[in-house]
Amino acid sequence: HYLDAISSGWDNLFGHANPRINAALQQQLQDLEHVLLAGFSHETAIELAERLIALAPAGLSRCFFADNGSSAVEVALKMSFHYWQNLGKTKRHKFISLENSYHGETLGALAVGNVPLYRQTYGPLLLECLSVSCPDSFLRNADKSIDDDVQEHLKILEQLLQQQANRVCAMIIEPLVQCAGQMRIYPAAYLQGVRALCDDYNIHLIADEIAVGFGRSGTMFACEQAAISPDMMCLSKGLTGGYLPLAVTLTKEKIYDAFYDNYASLKAFLHSHSYTGNPLGCRAALATLDIFASDNVLTNNRRLAAHMARSTAHLHDHPHIGEVRQQGMILAMEMVADKATRQHFPWQERRGLRVYQQALKRGVLLRPLGDVIYFMPPYVITEDEIDRLANVASEGIEIACRS
Ligand code: PMP
């Protein structure tokens, strides 16, 4: 038995082999296993689209299904580019993303991502993109206020937009937490400022909520904490409770309308994968939304998140922990060689791997990102299990930080 501290890659929300989701899937198997979603439809996808629209930030009224997170990002990028083409703005070819961002590993998604580990090898194959730095609690100088940091980074984005906006389709952003980018967190005020600048300079804002959506950040969607609504929002991972591959890109009526025309105008948006909107995936998603609707998930998560903070509070003073940071049901501890300068251990030493190996011996699946140890557990975890995670992580950190 393993205790899954990372929701099997940030996917699982309500535990493995959850009886409620299992039962819904067994029923769905009796009804319909798959049918194409091109020029055709099925009841489960329609119901899921309606339920997602009711939950999503205001104005997101249309759903485009796919079957994994990277594809949802490809859909958003293509849809944004194609929208401007349909409007006759043919010079818009570029996308803006944040430094340290991650949006998936197909070529388009990789191009807007910014973590060198994933993209460097494929550099020559990738679209040319623009990137800007964003506020980061770990990198911020202690003598600079959070507010000033946010304003400075918004200014950097505005300068780029002043020069490039008429060549840009969209800005894509992971709201609040750059998960694959070592769980780095920025304030909601920055996201709010980005929305305002995208409006001022008339470019789309794509929110990639693939990792942070469905309660992970503390609210159903992270965008809610900045009180913003993106032009497109990508969802996957927790969408099916971590059961099956499914993704959706939500968008607004204005964007949908730019494609809706007589067939002969050839304005339609084409992006089809064989298993897009698969009924089993949609059923798992509906069962997941049923759990959100009937159980007090977000309230319960607040209690669990507070307990995660308490159980790791002693690590703030650890000589080799540079920062303990948290956003809702994500808690990360960054190991450093030197606490005062926040200098990292040489990456070749792979200290995080030692934590991983030690945790496995203790029956815990705790898979760090480099030297960042993090908890991103399923929401059915108990306070006792959180204490166990914290003990195993502390022990692993001690072993990993020995010279
Ligand atoms: N965007 C974000 C923010 C992600 O965290 C991920 C997956 N880690 C993706 C996109 C890609 O999703 P997938 O692995 O399903 O292609």
- Say how far apart CA 113 and CA 176 lie, in whole Å: 16
Which residues neighbour 391 within 8 Å (Cβ) at sequence distance 6 or greater? none
At 50, the pLDDT band (50, 70, 90 cuts) reads: very high
Which residues neighbour 337 within 8 Å (Cβ) at sequence distance 6 or greater? 320, 343, 344, 345
Residue 32: predicted pLDDT = 98
**Is the model's pLDDT at 403 over the cut of 80?**
no
Instruction: Count Cβ atoms below 10 Å from residue 173 Cβ, excluding itself.
Output: 28
What torsion do the CA atoms of 196, 199, 200, 204 make, to the nearest 10 degrees? 120
Query: Which one, of 209, 252, 197, 200, lies nearest residue 83 by Cα?
Result: 252
At 84, the pLDDT band (50, 70, 90 cuts) reads: very high
The amino acid present at 292, given as its one-letter code, is: F
pLDDT tens per residue across span 329-345: 999 999 999 999 999 99
Query: Residue 6's Cα: distance from chain center in Å?
Result: 14
- Say how far apart CA 364 and CA 51 lie, in whole Å: 35
Q: 389 in ligand 1 pocket by Cβ < 6 Å?
A: no
Q: 312 in ligand 1 pocket by Cβ < 6 Å?
A: no
* E strands in 12-67: 60-66
Q: How far is the CA of 214 from the centre of ligand 1 (A)?
A: 14
CA torsion through residues 152, 153, 158, 159, sign: positive
Residue 141: predicted pLDDT = 87
**Which one of 101, 186, 210, 216 would you pick to mutate in the ligand 1 pocket, going by the greatest count of ligand atoms within 8 A of its CB?**
210
Mean pLDDT for the chain overall? 97
- Say how far apart CA 197 and CA 173 lie, in whole Å: 13
Give the three-state DSSP class for 10.
Answer: helix
Q: What percent of the chain has pLDDT over 90?
A: 97
Residue 96: predicted pLDDT = 98
Residue 180 CA, closest ligand 1 atom number? 5
**Is the model's pLDDT at 269 over the cut of 90?**
yes
Residue nearest to atom 9 of ligand 1 (CA): 104
Residue 222: predicted pLDDT = 98
- Say how far apart CA 127 and CA 111 lie, in whole Å: 6
